[in-house]
Structure 1
Amino acid sequence: MSSGKLQTLDRGIALLMQVARSGGGLKIADLADQLGLHRAIAYRIVATLADHSMVTRLPDGRIVLGSGAIVLGVHAEGSLRTMARPVVEELAAETGCSAFLSMAQGEDCVAVLSTEPREAFLNVHYRVGTRHPLERGASGIAILSSRPEQPGESEAIRAARRDGYAITRGELQKGAIGISSPLRISTEGLQGPGFEGMEFSVGVVALDDLDIERVSAAVRAAAAALSERLGRAG
């Protein structure tokens, strides 16, 4: 390591990049081996990064990127926000609803981008960083529907998998209706970590009754367009 570098910071960044490149996440023992670190050091680095939501530990022990890494990234040029915002803004304008992009972080769903239609008289504000369990709300259910079928999963997840979108009423806010579709990002043949291993959904929320057929079609189209954009980013 060259003079002037902070070894702990250098190791932390290296570990974070290794997690990003892994796609599906890595266990601490694997990270230690790949980076040539003692397992105890790798564990402390992971714990520090987790305290800042840069990584999160799944129930099976795999370490994956956390919402902090995405929130940090959306403030950089060429980042997720730059690529996703035009699609999310178009969805808000087309539907007249607040539109948002969410991602899975462990057992939670976290909003990473939100925008509101300019012409609407009353909107539901969906704040970036808002989180809730994946099993509640259309955005989380949509993400769960993109995973392989699991024993005992809810009818809402099965319906979302069948229909291509999830719809919920009043689950996260009284009177609010949410519709979301999962992103299906293909990185086949691409180089670099891109967004492999990350799970996203895009959707809308409104207080008024929606034309479900029209709005769900717009949400599915936005999910397809955004999946293609993010897939090309690898």
Structure 2
Amino acid sequence: MGKDSDSFVRAIARGFSVIEALGRPPGRHTLAETAEAAGLNRATARRILATLVGLKYCAIDGRYFMLRPRALGLGLSYLNALPYWAYAQRALEDLRNELGESCAMAVLDEDDIVYVSRLPARRILTAHLGLGSRLPAHLVSLGRVLLAALPAERRAAYLAGATFKPVTPRTVTDPRRLGDVLARVESDGYAWVDGELDPAICGIAVPLRDPPGSVVAALSVNTISGTISEAGARKKFLLPLKKTAQEIRSQMMTVVL
């Protein structure tokens, strides 16, 4: 549904833009800052902020506005609607404890992945990525698994339209080469990425399928680049990853039944 559709409610869209603006660091913003970040004029932003304050999604402290804990429920509504999320959390904890490495689960949203679970290992110093964090899908193993699962037409449209900016010297930015990589991921059933987002981090990921067989998420194990090769990661991590994915899928089947 496009923004020009008669069914598109602009007031709701503007409200969410204000919520997203308030969620940016440092977490407290003036009216002017909120309006600029949300792309709104001050009068409109002021009315939306007053509404959010009245609904207790937002608090005001002098000149500053900030989200209240109630806003967290908006994101949790998505997670609670996933029939596998709670069990997946426990399954990933078990996997992290078994392997001693960081584990994560993500879903695809347009050209990005969104983390719906992330359990870091203490020995790895990672970027500030947590629940709800977004990354360009082509940069990480989770994203490549999800991109490889797209229907052929959607994958081709993604490769033709997305912008692949280099983040490290290893980042794959050529659409044709990335297309070949995704074809291999689809064939192999896993993705391996080493140093394309962060020179110090490598990771391997597998798809998570729902009961009918569609890929709905991806699971990954990440470790320090240089400590293991793709062959080593495949030997050490691939079977436990696939086992965890199957356990989560089996749990989804019991929920459906």
Q: TM-score band, normalised by the shorter chain? A: 0.5 to 0.7
- Code of the residue aligned with 2:244 in structure 1: it is A
Is 2:12 aligned against 1:45? yes
Is 2:199 aligned against 1:174? yes
Q: Distance in 1 between matches of 2:198 and 2:209?
A: 27
Residue 176 of structure 1 and its aligned partner are, at CA, apart by 0.6
2:79·2:116 contact (CA, 8 Å) conserved in 1? no
Alignment of 1:1-234 (within 5 A): 27=1, 39-41=7-9, 43-46=10-13, 48-49=15-16, 52=19, 71-73=75-77, 81-117=85-121, 121-122=123-124, 124=126, 126-149=129-152, 150-151=155-156, 152=176, 154-186=179-211, 199-208=216-225, 209-210=227-228, 211-212=232-233, 213-234=235-256
Q: TM-score, normalised by structure 2?
A: 0.56
- Tell which structure's C-alpha radius of gyration is larger: 2
- Structure 1 stretches lacking a partner, 5+ long: 1-26, 33-37, 54-67, 189-195
Q: Distance in 2 between matches of 1:78 and 1:111?
A: 13
Select the structure with the greater relative contact order (CA < 8 A; seq sep ≥ 6): 1
Count of residues in correspondence between the two structures? 176
SS at match of 1:228: helix
Q: Distance in 1 between matches of 2:248 and 2:254?
A: 10
**Any idea what the Cα deviations from partners look like across 1:33-72, whole Å, max 9, x if unmatched?**
xxxxx6253x54355446657xxxxxxxxxxxxxx88842
Residue 216 of structure 1 and its aligned partner are, at CA, apart by 1.8
2:102·2:223 contact (CA, 8 Å) conserved in 1? yes
- Structure 2 stretches lacking a partner, 5+ long: 21-71, 157-175
SS at match of 1:230: helix
Change (3 A) 1:156 1:77: closer
Structure with greater helix percent: 2
Change (3 A) 1:214 1:75: same
Change (3 A) 1:148 1:75: closer
- Code of the residue aligned with 1:226 in structure 2: it is I
2:84·2:248 contact (CA, 8 Å) conserved in 1? no
SS at match of 1:135: helix
2:108·2:137 contact (CA, 8 Å) conserved in 1? yes
Cα RMSD after superposing both structures: 3.4
Q: Distance in 2 between matches of 1:40 and 1:105?
A: 20
1:124·1:206 contact (CA, 8 Å) conserved in 2? no
2:83·2:255 contact (CA, 8 Å) conserved in 1? no
Q: Which residue is equivalent to 1:35?
A: none
Change (3 A) 1:221 1:70: farther
Change (3 A) 1:148 1:86: same
Q: Distance in 2 between matches of 1:122 and 1:135?
A: 22
